[in-house]
Chains A and B, each alone.
Chain A
Amino acid sequence: MGNFLDSYGFLIVSTFWGALLGLSVYLPLMAGQLSLASPGFYALGGYIAAILSTQVLPHSGETYPFGFVLLEMGVAGLVSAVLAVILGIPVLRLRGIYLAIATIAFVEILRVLALNLEITGGAIGIFSIPQPFRSPVGYLWIALPLLVLTMVLLYRLEQSHTGRVFRAIREDELAADTMGIDPTYYKVLSFTLGAILAGMVGAVSAHFFNTWNAKQGTFDNSIIYLAFVLSGGSRTFVGPVVGGMVLTALPEVLRTIANIGGIPLWLGGFLQAMRLIIFGLLIVLGSMFYPQGIVTPELLNRLKLAFRKQPKRIST
């Protein structure tokens, strides 16, 4: 077990970040808002943590204090929230594809700023971000509780009146408006919740990756996170979690399969060299044959029923 965690610790923790970033795209999507801004807030959070831990917060000794990481995550979440509200109020007046374009622009602006500012280390970025844990597996102490907590909160949110209002706006914003619902308020709320999550994940990721630069928040990432949600399923929070984990692990899994002995050389070579193509192909095929994503509310209901029936059958 120890050996397994040592080899795959980095990958396992990465899948958790994938799940959380998928959820940060899913949150605005709950209210029907296609936002691609997550990488922007993710990068911002990362820079906040990188700057705080290398320049501001004093520490000595081999490991960086765990509490400081949590503090950085809090600061990153807060700054992301404030920025999301400021950005959200004008931007969320746009609908559909225009909102997506505006959020891409936001991500680009942050990227160019990061490339050119001194405090972010320019094109080189920030190096030697201190480590709170001895190995990547240690980050499970943050990743696991954060993912579980986020999922519990999202489950509760979906059951709550606010969750219902989000879905109403997603279905028909105009009709929701005539029911006394202020769509702007709820759209900004969902957008901000997603931004807070992305900012917090960014903060801890800066430590996890040890280095942070302008490549962390790019348009490519926007599309990858969106793929997490679209392939996993965009109508329940379980979808982005599954999508984020599977798609994060997939390239690595393909590489591992390619290295297994006994596989024909040509197939191994194909899997190794073409894994990104396979990755893209799966996204295309997935959206053709599972346009709702892999996990849908209907599927979850069926699973729930199946689990409920099982014990009864055993007892009788």
Chain B
Amino acid sequence: MSPDVPILEVQNITRRFSGLVAVNNVSFAVRTGEIFGLIGPNGAGKTTLFNVITGLTPPSSGQLRYGQTSLNQLRPHQIARLGVARTFQNLRLFGNLSVLENVAIARHLHIHTGLVQSIVGTRAAKTEERQTALKALEILELVGLASKAEQTARNLAYGDQRRLELARALALQPQLLLLDEPAAGMNPNEKGALSQLIHQIRDRFDLTVILIEHHVPLVMGLCDRIAVLDFGQLIALGKPEAVRHDPAVIAAYLGGE
């Protein structure tokens, strides 16, 4: 696919929660292969927009297209099946399971042996189980968690939990990866390493990445294009330098007028 073909089109998406308009008539297109930043003050509707794209919250109105497919009526697992994976801002790991199991579960779409086969223990089931473990370890290696594969997920340090969320999303082998504040709670060193990791992942897996982040330097350095939301509305869209000097953005962040 040429880089100008949009992988995701958000068209006039609105999401209301009773009286509150969390996302208000937002439209943009994400191009295949880019790292697309979504920024804005707290409560701007960024996470709501992620929830709408991944099917957790249906849009009140508007159209979502992923390639040629409409996402509007699809449930989260159906959207995941199309190649869309996400992480959560407020960490939703399977806390009582091991780090390795967390990633192995995310291999779900790539596991084809059924219940009966795995209970009987056919050769195919055993081979696939071994492959799943190997693949999971490979992904954990990539995010630097391979040595902690046997630990229980909820006992991990906060930064490691964030990395595990990322590993779990990668295990789906998505084409579109949505990262909700992947650097939240990390120190500057960790943030730098994460920024490199995201770049590396994009290049290695041919991914398109949409990223919500508060840390402005990280976003500016990492993203090809940035969309800025404020009170549910899209107030700016473009290259990082352009967005940084946009008066509407400065006003939203610093409180203008």
Residue positions of A touching B, CB distance < 8 A = 153, 156-157, 159-162, 164-165, 167-168, 171-172, 174-183, 189
Contact = CB atoms under 8 A, between A and B. Distances in A.
A165 B118 CA distance: 13
A176 B75 contact: no
Given A164-B105, A178-B54, A179-B108, 5 more contacts: A156-B119, A168-B105, A172-B93, A179-B80, A183-B77
A177 B76 contact: yes
Nearest to B165: A175
Interface in B58-78: 75-77
Given A171-B94, A172-B94, A178 B118 contact: no
Interface in B67-109: 75-77, 79-81, 85-86, 88, 92-97, 101, 104-106, 108-109
12 contacts: A160-B119, A161-B108, A161-B111, A167-B96, A171-B97, A172-B92, A178-B54, A178-B79, A178-B85, A179-B106, A180-B77, A182-B77
B108 A165 contact: yes
B247 to A, nearest CB: 37
Nearest to A175: B92
A168 B98 CA distance: 11
A175 B94 contact: yes
A180 B109 contact: yes
B167 to A, nearest CB: 12
Contacts, number: 88
B13 interface: no
A42 to B, nearest CB: 23
B104 A164 contact: yes
A179 B79 CA distance: 9
A189 B172 CA distance: 23
B11 interface: no
A68 to B, nearest CB: 27
Given A156-B119, A164-B105, A189-B115, A180 B81 contact: yes
Contacts of B109: 179-180
A26 B95 CA distance: 20
Interface of B: 54, 56, 75-77, 79-81, 85-86, 88, 92-97, 101, 104-106, 108-109, 111, 113-115, 118-121, 125, 129, 132, 168, 172
A168 B94 contact: yes
A162 B115 contact: yes
Nearest to A185: B77
A70 to B, nearest CB: 20
Contact of B77 (A162, A171, A181): A181
Contacts of A164: 97, 101, 104-105
A159 to B, nearest CB: 8
Contacts of A174: 56, 76, 92
Mostly helix, strand, loop or mixed at chain A's interface?
helix
A175 B121 CA distance: 28
B96 to A, nearest CB: 6
A164 B168 CA distance: 14
Q: Which 10 A-B pairs have the closest CB atoms?
A: A160-B118, A180-B80, A175-B92, A171-B94, A177-B76, A180-B109, A156-B119, A168-B105, A162-B115, A179-B106
A165 B54 CA distance: 20
Nearest to B83: A180
B41 to A, nearest CB: 26
Contact of B119 (A153, A175, A179): A153
Given A161-B111, A161-B129, A161-B132, A156 B118 contact: yes
Contacts of B108: 161, 165, 179-181
Contacts of B101: 164, 167
A157 B114 CA distance: 11
A168 B171 CA distance: 15
Contact of A160 (B80, B81, B96, B115): B115
B84 to A, nearest CB: 9
Nearest to B54: A178
B113 A161 contact: yes
B76 to A, nearest CB: 4
Nearest to A179: B106
Contacts of B96: 167, 171
Given A174-B76, A178-B80, A161 B97 contact: no
Contacts of A167: 94, 96-97, 101
Nearest to A162: B115
Given A157-B119, A172-B92, A174-B56, A179 B97 contact: no
